A and B are shown apart, each in its own frame.
Chain A
Amino acid sequence: MHRVLHHLALILLTGICTAGGVGTADLLVLTSPGFPSVMMMGPAGRAAASGAFAVSSNPAMLSPGFSASGGRWNLSTTAVSLGGAVSLGGRASVGAGLVYLGRGGIIRRDAAGQPMGEYSFGTGSIAAGGSLHLSDWLRAGVSAGLSWEDIGGDAETGISVSLGLAGEPEPGIRVGLSLTGLGIPPRWKGIHKDMPTVLSAGGEANIGSGFSAFAGGELGFFTADSFGGGLSLKASGFRLSAGYTLSPGEDELSGLFGGMSYTYESGGSYTMEAAFTQRDNLDWPILAGISVSF
């Protein structure tokens, strides 16, 4: 445990020293939320959202079940995500997940600007991982996998690793800490770019009458920082959440986010959910999905 925290601190310091490299990170699929449960909590979602999808965000938040989602992410890319996890005897869970973003219809142009047809862009990440209870209230998780980008048939692959901690120090309070986007970036013509490493912290606390408050932040070492929070209301199986993201120096990433879900209980939990994020110059990302929890 101490070793993990030590490594986290080192990476944090390294990131602060290299801050200012926004736009230099490859494999930005790793910074996408992938699932509506993550998106509807804004910057807190990556660290604090719990579910079968969590191998793609904070693997310590992994819980048995299955999740699938789709929709639109930035730059009007089509998003498809899958995640599943099973319990290994109560103290441990393992799971796997896939996040994919793609866009077709990009006009191929030569050096003189002449159209030469169309091509597509695709990027994805497939990962597997697990979580383990370290104590009654604290869990740790790790996941690793392959990530790739395909630009008009020219594809490269990298390795991504995520680490996380999740805890429930008090009933009704859930906190998480994750470090995602570690690993080895693709090598494009012999050149390594940066990994989109993000240190995320977030938490959610019940504040009574069905309301809960959540807040969190993401410190990006080669991507943008963001901070935010919001409120969530649960009633009769429905959950509504809304909040605001502030991304210093990145107006496009600052704005409202929100979502809603409905959960039906019958031998398990069946949830339908959708979420959105505000943009000014780009189309608003929208994700919708279903999940089953055992």
Chain B
Amino acid sequence: MLALTCVQADDDPLVVFFIDPTAYEYWGDAMLVCTPGGRNYVIDGGQLAFGPDWDCGLQRVLPLLDSLDVTYLDGVVGTHPHSDHIGGLISVYDSLEVGIAYDSGWPYGSSWTYQQYLEAIVRNGSDYVTPRMGDSLDWGSELTVEVFYPKEPLPPSCANNSSIVLRLTYGEIAFLFTGDLETNGGEDVILAGIEDISADVLKVGHHGSASSTCNMWLSAVDPTIAAICVGANNPFGHPHGEVVSRLLGRDITIYRTDRDGTFYLSTDGEEVYFNSMPPTGGGGSVDPETFSVFPSPATDTATFAWDPADGDQALIRVFNLNGELVLDVDAVDGSFLWDLATSGGSPAAPGLYAAVFSTSEGVICTEYFTISR
């Protein structure tokens, strides 16, 4: 269980958590807003995926809520129907009572995940709301929550551009949440329709993809802090270098889940404070030094060690120089002692080996070692 001893509710009454979606090669968006008035809202829940199985809602969002003693959610925002945003919300809806389900309403009938998500909302009994450009949401009298997007009619062919875009303002500080909004058909529509979209903190659109966050958008938002929700091993290269360059070129401070792990930004309405979280097994918490094989070279035995914070259980597979699987074992509690015998019981030959750790938290790390009899 996580302990947030560093959150000072009296001094920093608005807290926004950016939850690390890192697991295997998965990615996604997941955020939690804890308001000064004591309300709690989840914005996206990360990915639900199979092979390898991963449920960001179950593995990351719910443990965070549990650590904060949150037993009721005033609202859940599914920015748009892609599984890396709403997949993890299924477990959330099935675990906690939720007041209002905010959904883009974009028709995505062919998606199994989206169907499960809608059924979970029905099971939960939440009020179903589809915010639209110009709406205001009641998240407490101390906050202003403006809906910048989407607008009717919804774009027929691009779910990303149906993303619910919200500006959350507390005192002098504003956060802009953008989902996967893209430049063409999204940012340009907002720029044409809303005069003031400025914000101090920008949740960078689409995990830092170059299809989002154009220079005109950045000029209009004019943030001082950019937060990027991105999986550390995502196959798309997010965040893209040109987006990072655009941000750095404007002296915008970047926080990103693939490097910082789960982090939170808190504000008293005047200043914004950054804090990292205890390791959760995500990108920012992976320390290669926490995975090791020793002694190396090994002569009689080899100990495989990892930090249980990266997962109590680990599947350890050892491959030799030919790529043959020499050892395949499930281990627990952070260590496993190998007698250097192959699965067939014969002594493993001297040579170079790769140990691939896959923990129950979805962290994968490869360590190289040798056997020298």
| A interface, CB within 8 angstroms of B | 20-26, 28-29, 31-32, 73-77, 101, 103, 106-115, 119, 121, 123, 149, 151-152, 154, 156, 186, 188-189, 191, 193-194, 196, 223-224, 250-253, 279, 281-282
Which one of A21, A25, A188 lies within 8 Å of B344 (CB-CB)? A21
A75–B325 Cα gap in the complex (Å)? 12
Contact present for B368 and A20 (CB under 8 Å): no
Contact present for A23 and B342 (CB under 8 Å): yes
A40–B232 Cα gap in the complex (Å)? 33
B259 interface hit (Cβ, 8 Å) = no
Residue of B with least CB distance to A154: B372
Which one of B303, B323, B351 lies within 8 Å of A279 (CB-CB)? B323
Contact present for B297 and A154 (CB under 8 Å): yes
Give the size category of B's interface with A: 35 or more
**What are 26 pairs between A and B in contact, CB < 8 Å?**
A22-B326, A22-B343, A22-B344, A23-B346, A23-B349, A24-B347, A25-B322, A26-B349, A26-B351, A28-B320, A28-B322, A28-B351, A31-B322, A106-B370, A110-B294, A111-B294, A111-B295, A123-B351, A154-B297, A194-B349, A196-B322, A223-B322, A250-B323, A251-B325, A252-B323, A253-B323
Chief secondary structure at chain B's binding surface:
strand
Q: Mark B52-88, 1 if CB is under 8 A from A, else 0.
A: 0000000000000000000000000000000000000
Q: A23-B346, A108-B296, A224-B324 are in contact. Are A252 and B352 (CB under 8 A)?
A: no
Shortest distance in angstroms between A193's beta carbon and chain B's nearest beta carbon? 4
Q: Which residues of chain B from 344 to 373 have any CB-CB distance to chain A below 8 Å in the complex?
A: 344, 346-354, 356, 366-370, 372-373
B15 interface hit (Cβ, 8 Å) = no
Most chain B beta-carbon contacts within 10 A, residue among A23, A24, A152: A23
Contact present for A113 and B321 (CB under 8 Å): no
Nearest first, the 8 closest Cβ-Cβ pairs linking A and B are: A109-B294, A23-B342, A23-B326, A188-B373, A28-B321, A113-B294, A151-B372, A193-B349
B319 interface hit (Cβ, 8 Å) = yes
Q: Cβ of B226: which chain A residues have Cβ within 8 Å of it?
A: none
Which one of A109, A123, A156, A186 lies within 8 Å of B295 (CB-CB)? A109
With A24-B349, A31-B322, A252-B319 already in contact, 5 other A-B pairs whose C-beta atoms are closer than 8 Å: A21-B344, A24-B348, A28-B351, A186-B350, A193-B373
